[in-house]
């Protein structure tokens, strides 16, 4: 009897995959044909089982794929636990709309967000404002600059046992951050410029790198994620606003949208003006799109 071995898909190119087995060995594998019929496409980040294939070039066959905690598309990655959202204090100016969108996306996908301020050497004032705004809201915020990195224990805690992705607008310092964390030069997290150079029809390469007892995901294309296409609905929106969850059930109307309704207790939520304005803007878009406006 062949005993299947379990592992994790760390890389996939042209239909063949690299699997990191539980025993630490990295092997090549091809999926069994059955997946094609069932429309399951093995994806980087998948937990899987493999069996020997008898083919010396690709010695293993993927025979099963574990249930996914989540799946991101463009780029395709499964089973992310933590998303580092890199935000620079300056150069480029922080895109708080993108930040808030990613913070709405995370709970929908069962991902723990971590706001990582970069370039705090460029504007201490902006760093302090953002730290206050987002930690008051209820998020974890850490920072690093050219001179300062997180304490080692904190880095360990973020990665140990977790699969960690890095998102954020172009130029905020994602690649720099990953180089400094891992010391690995070939990691090019979110390298948009590289992607443009290769042309947009090139297959995007995604890879999981073992790091500190977890994985760091290296992927071009995580810069913005396709947040606008994820399909955020009204019920999802509130999950990105811990401030608003705090006043749940307190307003006069149970279905209060906190947009100026009678008896709304929004002032007790402690939400910042900017976050409230962005919340209302997202809500408008969702309501217009779902034609629920004026219900
Ligand atoms: N002053 C300062 N500059 C930094 C810091 N971190 C990164 N940079 C600079 O910011 C620029 C962009 O950094 P990258 O790491 O390439 O940014 P990225 O987010 O990977 O950008 P894309 O790949 O385009 O998405 C580089 O010139 C870095 O040297 C920092 O903490 N302080
Ligand atoms: Mg980069
Ligand atoms: Zn309200």
Q: Are residues 42 and 149 in the same domain?
A: no
- 149 C-beta closer than 6 A to ligand 1: no
Q: Are residues 176 and 266 in the same domain?
A: no
Looking at the CA of residue 223, tell me the nearest atom of ligand 1: 25
Let me know if residue 223 belongs to a domain.
no
For residue 81, the enclosing domain spans: 77-218
Q: Are residues 63 and 81 in the same domain?
A: no
Q: Are residues 209 and 253 in the same domain?
A: no
Give the CATH number for residue 196: 3.40.50.300
Let me know if residue 295 belongs to a domain.
no
Q: Are residues 119 and 210 in the same domain?
A: yes
Q: Are residues 83 and 48 in the same domain?
A: no
Beta strands in the chain (DSSP E): 5-13, 16-21, 26-31, 47-52, 60-65, 71-72, 77-78, 82-88, 112-118, 141-143, 163-167, 207-211, 214-218
Let me know if residue 97 belongs to a domain.
yes
- 171 C-beta closer than 6 A to ligand 1: yes
- 176 C-beta closer than 6 A to ligand 1: yes
Give the CATH number for residue 262: 1.10.40.50
Let me know if residue 115 belongs to a domain.
yes
Give the CATH number for residue 56: 2.40.50.140
Q: Are residues 180 and 103 in the same domain?
A: yes
Q: How many helices (H) and strands (E) does the chain have?
A: 9, 13
How many structural domains compose the chain? 3
Q: Residue 45 corresponds to which tokens in the numbers above?
A: 């980040």
Q: How many residues does the chain have?
A: 295
Model confidence, pTM: 0.90
Q: From first to last of the 295 residues of the chain, give the pLDDT tens digit.
A: 678 999 999 999 888 999 999 999 999 999 998 776 677 889 999 999 999 999 999 999 999 999 999 998 777 899 999 999 999 999 999 999 999 999 999 999 999 999 999 999 999 999 999 999 999 999 999 999 988 899 999 999 999 999 999 988 888 998 889 889 988 766 655 444 444 444 443 345 788 999 999 999 976 555 545 555 667 888 999 999 999 999 999 999 999 999 999 999 999 999 999 999 999 999 998 888 877 555 4
Q: Are residues 280 and 155 in the same domain?
A: no
Let me know if residue 226 belongs to a domain.
no
Q: What is the DSSP string of 107-134?
A: HHTT-EEEEEEE-TTT-HHHHHHHHHHH
65 half-sphere exposure, CB direction, 13 A CA radius: 25
Q: Are residues 38 and 86 in the same domain?
A: no
Let me know if residue 281 belongs to a domain.
yes
Let me know if residue 52 belongs to a domain.
yes
Give, for ligand 1, the residue of 88, 117, 175 to mutate: max count of ligand atoms closer than 8 Å to Cβ. Answer: 175
Long-range pairs, 272-280, Cβ under 8 A, ≥24: 272/133, 272/136, 272/137, 274/96, 274/133, 275/100, 275/133, 275/137, 275/241, 275/243, 278/96, 278/97, 278/100, 279/100, 279/237, 279/241, 279/244
Q: Are residues 102 and 188 in the same domain?
A: yes
């Amino acid at each position: 009897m062949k005993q299947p071995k379990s592992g994790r898909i760390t890389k996939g190119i042209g239909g063949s995959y690299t699997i990191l087995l539980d025993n630490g060995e990295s092997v090549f594998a091809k999926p069994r044909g059955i997946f094609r019929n069932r429309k399951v496409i093995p994806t980087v980040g998948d937990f899987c089982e493999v069996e020997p294939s008898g083919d010396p070039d690709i010695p293993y066959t993927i025979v099963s794929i574990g249930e996914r905690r989540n799946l991101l598309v463009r780029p395709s990655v499964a089973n992310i636990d933590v998303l580092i959202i890199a935000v620079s204090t300056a150069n480029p100016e922080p895109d708080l709309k993108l930040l808030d969108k990613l913070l709405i996306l995370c709970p929908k996908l069962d991902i723990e967000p971590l706001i990582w301020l970069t370039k705090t050497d460029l504007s201490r004032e902006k760093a302090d404002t953002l730290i206050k705004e987002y930690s008051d809201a209820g998020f974890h915020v850490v920072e690093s600059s050219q001179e300062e990195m997180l304490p080692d224990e904190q880095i360990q805690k973020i990665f140990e046992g977790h699969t960690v992705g890095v998102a954020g607008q172009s130029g905020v310092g994602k690649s720099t951050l990953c180089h400094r964390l891992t010391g690995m030069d070939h990691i090019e997290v979110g390298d948009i410029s590289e992607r443009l150079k290769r042309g947009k029809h090139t297959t995007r390469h995604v890879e999981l790198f073992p790091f500190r007892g977890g994985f760091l995901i290296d992927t071009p294309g995580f810069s913005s994620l396709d947040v606008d296409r994820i399909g955020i609905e009204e019920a999802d929106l509130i999950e990105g606003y811990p401030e608003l969850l705090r006043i749940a059930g307190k307003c006069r109307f149970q279905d209060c949208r906190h947009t100026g309704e009678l008896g709304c207790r929004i002032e007790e939520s402690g939400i910042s003006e900017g976050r409230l304005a962005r919340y209302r803007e997202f809500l408008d878009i969702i309501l217009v799109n779902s034609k629920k406006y004026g219900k």
